[in-house]
Every structure is written in structure tokens, then in C-alpha cells.
């Protein structure tokens, strides 16, 4: 599993560490995200996914390590990082008193962009919200609010978007709607770092999946690469492909297996600076 080259990397993290008192949440996280890709940071609740996103979006300072987003250092160039990103948190940050269109126009005006109305209409169409654009957001379903929230995050065309647990609390249909919206982002060249605890979400959306466990990325690769970590099982002569859940459970039980795979792949590729 090879790491992206620095030139093609939108997010580059090395040795990131963060503790809250005696509790070490991040303990040397290494991660690369290619430009124009979707990477899922997968892990259980409380494993440190949101902490990592807060550090990368300059809302929290790391105790150790380095992180660059869109080529800017999150510690020494926070303003440049903030101009290059958008963050969508676990709960939709929309104004329920306003209509969907008014929410979009408001953000466009706050960003001092020309022709906010045209921007709003374009995003409503892109996220299948045109018919609901003149309704108050208080009447929207959970999935519609989340799609509007993501649309608002795209105003100004940030090259990097952080989506922190974007489908938490949504029903299956709403989750499907959000998935379609997220997949559309990379078609426009946007880089997405997505945190999730849902295996099916990572499997559906991500170009690469990084599993965070005990403060470290224990494995990082494509779905096919992760599945290849486990031998295929056979039941009554019928081959069964390993699921992401199989991989996740196996790696959590034996984190060193993932680190060994990353180390061997990096050594084979002779990538300078690749974490081991």
C-alpha cells in the first residue's frame, strides 16, 4: 500500500499526537490523502477521529507531529489552511428559520462572493433541493438538511472538505441521499476526508480507507488492498470474499498485521519519508 507523492497530496500528516490529561487519544498518526480523492478515517466511537479533524481544521492544537493541508502547515499557517478548507461537523449547521436558498445566499454574502443568488440556485440544483429551496429549513428532512449543509460547505470552492460523521442519526434513505452528494464532490475535483464508524459507509464512499485504532492508523489502503489482507474463505466449495467488517475485526484484534503490511509495501516502493 503505497503513499501518495508529496506533489499529489492534499493532506499530509506525520506523527500526530494529542492527549487529554493522561488519556492519549492520538499516538503518532500518519496519513496521506491524494488530491481529488475520498479517504475514510474509520474507527469506533471515541477513537480520536473528530480530534484528528479538529487538528487538521485548526480548531485544536496537536501536542506533537506535523500536518499540512493544501500545502499549508496547520500550526504555522492556520489562516491559509482555513481559507483552503470547509468543515461539516456531526450536526447540520443550518438556520432553520431561513429557507434553504436564504441559507446559501447568506454564506455566499459572508464570503463576499459576487452574485450570491446564482451560486445558491446552482447548489440547490446540484444537490436536488431546487423544489425545496424556498421552504424553511425547519420543514426539511434530516437528509435534506445534511445535503444543504454540505452544499453550504462548498461555497467558495474550497479544495479540501472535512466531513465528520456526515450521516449520524439519518435513516437509510437519507444516508443514501447524502452518499450520492458526497460521491459528487470528487467529480468536481474536491478532496474529502470523511470520518465514520460505519463500515458500509466507508465501503461505499472511499477511494482509500484508513483504520484508526488505539491512537494510530493500523492500516491504510483501498478496499481491495484491505480485503487482500485476509485469505479467502470457502464454504461448501463456494468462494466468499472477505468483507470490510472481516478486515476491520481482524486488524483490531491484531493491529501489528496492518502495520507490517504498510511497512513492507512502503519498503518495496522505496518511498522516502514513508512512515513505518
Q: Kindly list the domain boundaries of the chain, sorted by start residue.
A: 6-269
Per-residue pLDDT, 24: 92
To 10 degrees, what angle do helices 116-126 and 100-110 make?
130
Q: Are 210 and 203 in contact (CB under 8 A)?
A: no
3.40.50.1110, 3.30.1490.100, 3.40.50.300, 2.40.37.20: which CATH number matches 6-269? 3.40.50.300
3-state secondary structure of 122: helix
Residues in the chain: 276
To 10 degrees, what angle do helices 244-253 and 255-269 make?
100
Alpha carbon distance 17, 216 (integer Å): 9
**Per residue in 119-139, is it b (16+ CB within 10 Å) or e — as a string?**
bbbebbebbebeebbeeebee
Could you tell me the pTM of the whole model? 0.79
Tell me the three cell numbers of residue 142.
434530516
pLDDT per residue of the chain (276 residues) written in tens, 0 to 9:
444 445 689 999 999 999 999 899 999 999 999 999 999 999 888 889 999 999 999 999 999 999 999 999 999 999 999 999 999 887 778 899 999 999 999 999 998 999 999 999 999 998 889 999 999 999 999 889 988 998 998 898 899 999 998 888 788 888 888 888 888 887 788 999 999 988 889 988 999 999 998 899 998 999 888 888 765 554 554 455 556 666 666 776 666 666 554 544 444 433 344 444
Q: Are 163 and 194 in contact (CB under 8 A)?
A: yes
Alpha carbon distance 166, 221 (integer Å): 21
Alpha carbon distance 47, 85 (integer Å): 23
Amino acid at each position: 500500500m503505497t503513499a501518495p507523492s508529496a506533489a499529489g497530496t492534499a493532506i499530509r500528516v506525520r506523527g500526530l499526537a494529542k492527549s487529554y490529561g493522561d488519556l492519549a487519544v492520538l499516538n503518532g498518526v500518519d496519513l496521506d490523502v491524494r488530491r481529488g480523492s475520498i479517504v475514510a478515517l474509520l474507527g469506533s466511537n471515541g477513537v480520536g477521529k473528530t480530534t484528528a479533524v479538529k487538528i487538521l481544521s485548526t480548531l485544536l492544537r496537536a501536542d506533537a507531529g506535523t500536518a499540512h493541508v493544501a500545502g499549508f502547515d496547520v500550526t504555522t499557517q492556520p489562516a491559509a489552511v482555513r481559507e483552503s478548507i470547509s468543515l461539516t461537523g456531526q450536526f447540520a449547521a443550518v438556520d432553520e428559520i431561513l429557507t434553504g436558498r436564504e441559507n446559501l445566499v447568506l454564506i455566499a454574502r459572508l464570503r463576499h462572493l459576487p452574485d450570491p443568488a446564482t451560486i445558491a440556485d446552482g447548489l440547490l440544483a446540484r444537490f436536488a433541493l431546487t423544489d425545496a429551496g424556498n421552504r424553511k429549513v425547519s420543514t426539511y428532512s434530516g437528509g435534506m438538511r445534511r445535503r444543504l449543509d454540505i452544499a453550504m460547505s462548498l461555497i467558495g470552492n474550497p479544495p479540501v472538505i472535512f466531513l465528520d460523521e456526515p450521516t449520524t442519526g439519518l435513516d437509510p434513505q437519507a444516508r443514501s441521499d447524502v452518499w450520492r452528494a458526497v460521491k459528487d464532490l470528487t467529480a468536481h475535483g474536491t478532496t474529502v476526508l470523511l470520518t465514520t464508524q460505519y463500515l458500509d459507509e466507508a465501503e461505499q464512499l472511499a477511494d482509500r480507507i484508513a483504520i484508526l485504532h488505539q491512537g494510530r492508523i493500523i492500516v491504510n489502503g483501498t478496499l481491495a488492498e484491505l480485503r487482500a489482507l485476509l485469505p479467502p474463505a470457502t464454504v461448501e466449495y463456494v468462494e466468499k470474499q472477505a468483507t470490510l467488517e472481516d478486515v476491520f475485526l481482524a486488524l483490531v484484534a491484531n493491529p501489528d498485521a496492518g502495520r507490517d503490511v504498510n511497512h513492507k509495501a512502503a519498503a518495496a516502493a522505496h518511498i522516502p519519508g514513508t512512515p513505518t
